[in-house]
Amino acid sequence: MADRTIFHVDVNSAFLSWSASYRVNILGEQTDLRLLPSIVGGDQEKRHGIVLAKSTPAKRYGIQTGEAIVTARQKCPDLVVVPPDYGLYVNASRAFISKLKKYSDHVIQYSIDEAWVIFDGFESLYGKGQMVKLAYDLKDEIKEELGFTVNIGISNNFLLSKMAGDFSKPDKVHTLFPEEIKEKMWPLPVSELFFVGRATTKKLYALGIKTIGELANADEAMLRAHLKSMGEVIQGYARGEDLQSYMFTHDANKGYGNSLTAPQDIVTREYAGHLLLSLCETVGARLRTDSVKIGVVAVHITTNEFARASRQMQLLTATDVTEEIYVAACQVFDKLWDGRTPIRQIGVSTSKVQSDSGRQYNLFDMQRYDKLEQLNKTVDAIRGRFGEDSLMRASFLKGNVSHMSGGLDKERRSGVTIGIDVEHENARII
């Protein structure tokens, strides 16, 4: 649409920013992590502990997201390391999306810390200049009221707005309209193009392609020969073609689903399980709102090299219970993922939708299902009345799906925590 304007809003260094904001504004700490060489990272005692997010001062030491914490400490001995707090991040994300929805009724959340805000007809009414001013107003309001900064990219398609949002950071507004592609995007290294990872970058370098502009103008047959269908996709991106709709929309007529792009590559089963639980919560709540149940659960993933895969399973009986959807999603995921390949995007979708006309019980699940069903409805009612943050799973406070017994810091939240012990093969929710 010619008069459509799209904002891509991305939280700057989300995990670290949210942790820093909470420590300063809620706990009253005097030191802001964002002003120190600091990172959010996993267990430092384990060899696989990695940097999940870094401050701007840490970046100056050459610390990279995804590198081992021990390596980051070698670069900066005085590095401050704080553990991830996924419960806090879920709450911050909800507040962030809620703020965006006050500006437009068309918001597409792409990951925990980024979303598109679509304005139809605003540009013809106010002009591009006023849309830029609106972006600055939104950016400043988030900073003042929520305590963290964002970058906003502005264009008339999803890809270009996202690319614009990745220009210089933090706390900035940038435009990237089609007429600005050659000047602003083509000179950039090809590694900065959306969905071009390290392996693809190496392949493009081997072909003599080092900038986005060179990729846009490369021989199409050569790209297909060396990169197959991915070559065609990323060349389209380099030319400003929009993202495929499957990456951020779902066909409501076929079922209920939700997906997200992880802030960092998913490389552990624990992290994947936590994200699956979050997705299943939103899917389950939507099913109960519409008084329907589903009989098929599917999981789809996109790797960091753009390879896509999906798998599904049929349930013994239709359900709308979050816990049962999650157990099924975990089983499907474990069969789908090889346990090694980094994942960028993960989603849960459901199908075989039917009216909530009852349940076909088996001998073993009648009492368990009734309890879970009632609990889910109670949680929905409380959240509907008092807000999403009034109840949260204990697992979101600890941030680890597989180790959730004891030690919960319940005094740090005003909401109530709930514990649900549902054992089924490798899936567990507490």
Q: Are 112 and 49 in contact (CB under 8 A)?
A: no
Q: Are 260 and 323 in contact (CB under 8 A)?
A: no
Q: Are 66 and 50 in contact (CB under 8 A)?
A: yes
User: Per the structure block, which two tokens stand in for 219?
Assistant: 């021989």
Distance between CA atoms of residues 23 and 46, nearest Å: 25
Distance between CA atoms of residues 430 and 416, nearest Å: 14
Residue 342, Cα to own-chain centre: how many angstroms?
Answer: 15
Name the phi and psi angles at 275, rounded to 5: -70, -40
Report which of 364, 370, 413, 419 is spatially closest to residue 393, judged by C-alpha positions.
419
**Residue entry with tokens 């990272």:** 41
Distance between CA atoms of residues 265 and 408, nearest Å: 27
Report which of 270, 290, 421, 401 is spatially closest to residue 350, judged by C-alpha positions.
290
- Amino acid, single-letter form, for residue 301: I
User: Per the structure block, which two tokens stand in for 22?
Assistant: 């909470």
Distance between CA atoms of residues 43 and 393, nearest Å: 22
- The single residue of 29, 45, 67, 114 carrying the catalytic annotation is 114
User: Per the structure block, which two tokens stand in for 261?
Assistant: 């792009």
Instruction: Give all strands of the β-sheet with 308-319 in edge-to-edge order.
Output: 257-266, 343-355, 292-303, 308-319
Active site residue 114: yes
User: Per the structure block, which two tokens stand in for 310?
Assistant: 């999906």
Is the four-CA dihedral 258, 262, 267, 270 of positive or negative sign? negative
b/e code 289-318 from CB counts within 10 Å (16+ = b): eeebbbbbbbbbbbbbbbeeeebbeebeeb
Distance between CA atoms of residues 244 and 417, nearest Å: 38
Q: At what angle do helices 269-289 and 366-386 cross, to 10 degrees?
A: 80
Q: Which residues are the active-site residues?
A: 114
